[in-house]
């Protein structure tokens, strides 16, 4: 199983999916970490020059154009099972789900502690933190 954390420093979980610089992919077998892989992550900065218009009737982050941006962001982690972050928009959350990755939003800041909570089954998805 591969669990990806959104991070800027490899130790803490970033508060916003779209602004973080990296994916920290932790591979787990039999409840134990066997590998770590730091991957570059596309984010808002890479898409800043693209038109920010929303499709009529669409909420922020829910348009086809937003889904396309999210799919580009997810390409680097399409081999992962779960994504843990400290916040994201509803559109990103739903896009990630559509790629077969389980998004989890948490208040926890320590990657080490959140990984253990995930493995223990006690990490709660705090969807109220979606924006």
Determine the pLDDT at residue 51.
44
Beta strand spans in 1-131 (E): 2-7, 22-29, 32-40, 82-85, 102-105
CA dist 130 and 105 (Å) reads 8
The residue ranges of every structural domain in the chain are: 2-48+59-129
The CATH code of domain 2-48+59-129 reads 3.30.420.130
Determine the pLDDT at residue 47.
53
Task: Count, in order, helices (H) and strands (E) of the chain.
Answer: 4, 5
Determine the pLDDT at residue 62.
57
Which stretches of the chain drop beneath a pLDDT of 50?
49-60
Asked if residues 19 and 42 have their Cβ atoms less than 8 Å apart, the reply is: no
How many residues are given for the chain? Answer: 131
Quick count: other Cβ atoms within 10 Å of Cβ 63? Answer: 17
């Amino acid at each position: 199983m591969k669990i990806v954390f959104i991070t800027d420093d490899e130790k803490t979980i970033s508060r916003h999916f779209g602004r973080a610089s990296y994916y920290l992919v932790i591979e787990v077998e039999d409840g134990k970490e066997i590998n770590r892989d730091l991957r570059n992550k596309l984010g808002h900065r890479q898409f800043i020059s693209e038109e920010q218009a929303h499709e009529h009737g669409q909420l922020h982050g829910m348009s086809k154009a937003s889904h396309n941006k999210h799919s580009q962001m997810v390409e680097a982690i399409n081999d992962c099972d779960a994504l843990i972050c400290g916040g994201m928009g509803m559109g990103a959350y739903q896009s990630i789900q559509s790629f077969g990755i389980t998004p989890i939003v948490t208040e926890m800041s320590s990657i080490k502690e959140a990984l253990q909570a995930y493995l223990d089954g006690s990490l709660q998805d705090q969807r109220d933190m979606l924006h």
